[in-house]
Amino acid sequence: MRTIILRKYIYLLASVFGILFGIRAQATENLDGRVLLAVESGGAMYYVNGGERYCLQSPYETFQVMRGQSLGIRHEELSSYLEKGFPSRLDGRILLDIGSHGEAYYVNMSHSADYLGRPGSAFWVMAGKALGIKDEHLEKIPLFRQGCAYDYREKTFKTKKWINWNGRIIGQMNSFLDYAVERELKDKKVSYFYFSLDNDYWKNRKKAVHEGRIRVSGYLSGMTCAYSNTYFKGECVPEVDVRSISAFR
């Protein structure tokens, strides 16, 4: 429940700032390093770098951005900046500590840095730094050529490997996609499992994660069905109780 409230709060906060302060994300304005939240289109989130926007709509996409758009930095230099503050030239950059264990940090516009950690936590760090933006201004910023799995305008996923919500209004729930779960099942990798966004979803997810039978993952590839209560790698399995699956016992 706290997760739902937090996500609604982030979306609402970004929406209010976007409306009250009249954000003008013109194509000519330098928004590199900014995390943008589409306040009119269900809360789709993007990271801007090099004049293009990169999707941040799940921990998996966040990880891809962390890996592909980061800037390597020596451990000694990073440690000094963490203690004394970062120069403005690094505002909005994702830094990778190449002298340690590859830890990633996002330098915010206050010249300090936030540790990104795992993709799931990194997703929420970036969400907390998001700046609201209207669709008309967002679309002036070119989308990275690989595009996004989720089309915030059509409310559908673009490839057959992603769930098609058949026009259902996802809103801020697009950020719930990090609750796809991955699991090796005995002799084959079924591995993709997604509960519906209702009371049973939260009840079952909490139980399953608490018991350590599944681990949270940002992956959604392998899903091909339209909306149903549960998905198993390309096949709809309605009304499945996780306790009925022998591999989870």
How confident is the model over 195-216, as pLDDT tens digits? 333 344 445 544 544 443 333 3
> Over 90: is that where the pLDDT of 24 sits?
no
For the segment 84-109, the average pLDDT, to the nearest whole number, is: 89
Query: Given pLDDT bands bounded at 50, 70 and 90, which one contains residue 93?
Result: very high
Q: Give the whole-angstrom CA distance, residue 187 versus residue 71.
A: 40
pLDDT tens digits, one per residue of 125-154: 888 888 888 888 988 898 886 656 555 454
- Residue 50 is predicted with a pLDDT of 87
Tokens 């921990």 found at:
59
Q: Give the whole-angstrom CA distance, residue 37 versus residue 10.
A: 10
What are 236's two structure tokens?
């709809």
What are 76's two structure tokens?
């000694």
- Residue 29 is predicted with a pLDDT of 58
> Over 90: is that where the pLDDT of 86 sits?
yes
> Over 90: is that where the pLDDT of 105 sits?
yes
- Residue 122 is predicted with a pLDDT of 84
Q: What is the mean pLDDT of the chain?
A: 61
- Residue 80 is predicted with a pLDDT of 93
Strands (E), the chain: 35-38, 45-49, 52-55, 70-73, 94-97, 104-107, 113-115, 131-133, 150-151, 156-157, 180-182, 193-195, 215-217, 230-232, 235-236
Task: Report the candidate in 137, 169, 130, 131 with the shortest Cα–Cα distance to residue 153.
Answer: 169
Q: Give the whole-angstrom CA distance, residue 233 versus residue 215.
A: 16
- Residue 127 is predicted with a pLDDT of 83
Q: Give the whole-angstrom CA distance, residue 182 versus residue 24.
A: 40
Around Cβ 37, how many Cβ atoms within 10 Å?
29
Its sign, for the CA torsion 7, 59, 163, 153, is positive
Instruction: Show me where the domains of the chain are located.
Output: 2-148, 156-248
DSSP assigned state of 167: T
* CA distances from residue 128 to 53, 71, 186 in whole angstroms, order as listed: 17, 21, 39
Sequence-separated (6 or more) residues with CB below 8 Å from residue 46: 35, 36, 38, 53, 54, 55, 56, 138, 141
